[in-house]
Amino acid sequence: MGVTYGTETYNSKINQVMLTQIQDNIVPYYALDFEGEYSAMSEMDRVIFMIRNIREYYSIALMSLSAKQRKNILLLGFDEIVVDTEQSVNRICSFLDTETTPYTAEVLRREKCPRVLDRVNRQNKLGKIQEIASEQGLKILLEMIKDYEKDGI
């Protein structure tokens, strides 16, 4: 195993992904549960299946924590952070017992926070995904969307 950037999907110095070779195939760590199918999948399905695996790893790790350990984790969803930025930053500062710095405002401005979520754009992206994802991939994606909308994370 090694850390590298390989195919065009991972060809980014800021998107480092652990890759492993299984027989003649090189697959990302997050695809180890479906490495046999990986090479035959479309790029879109690969992404959907890997995100599903990452979410499952996250859930297993979170559930394995004791109640005391869970108190050391602050869960915030993307939508919550970008829409209710001030409240989210305040929660983070309170949780970490710290304060913002002058750099905080610069980062928030660069990341366009706070902002109004563009639901039309989100639907348009989903429509494009629906055009290229397999039926199984789309089913997995829609289930993850439902979970995200229910829990916010």
Q: Where are the alpha helices (DSSP H) in 2-134?
A: 35-38, 43-63, 67-70, 78-83, 85-96, 102-110, 119-132
Neighbours of 47 (CB within 10 A): 17
How is residue 133 written in tokens? 């994802």
Residue 97 phi/psi, 5° resolution? 55, 55
Beta bridge partners of 20: 27
Neighbours of 84 (CB within 10 A): 15
Contact at 8 Å (CB) between 48 and 142?
no
Residues belonging to the chain: 153
Q: So what's the pLDDT on residue 13?
A: 65
Per-residue pLDDT of the chain (153 residues; tens, 9 = 90+): 333 344 555 556 666 788 888 888 889 999 999 998 998 999 999 999 999 999 999 999 999 999 999 999 999 999 999 999 999 999 999 999 999 999 999 999 999 999 999 999 999 999 999 999 999 999 999 999 999 999 888
The Cα-based distances of 39 to 31, 35, 73 in angstroms read 10, 8, 36
d(CA 9, CA 6): 8
Q: So what's the pLDDT on residue 12?
A: 64
d(CA 101, CA 91): 15
Q: So what's the pLDDT on residue 16?
A: 76
| Residue type for position 37 | E
Q: Nearest CA to 48 among 146, 152, 145? A: 145
Q: So what's the pLDDT on residue 147?
A: 93
Three-state helix/strand/coil letters over 38-57: HCCCCHHHHHHHHHHHHHHH
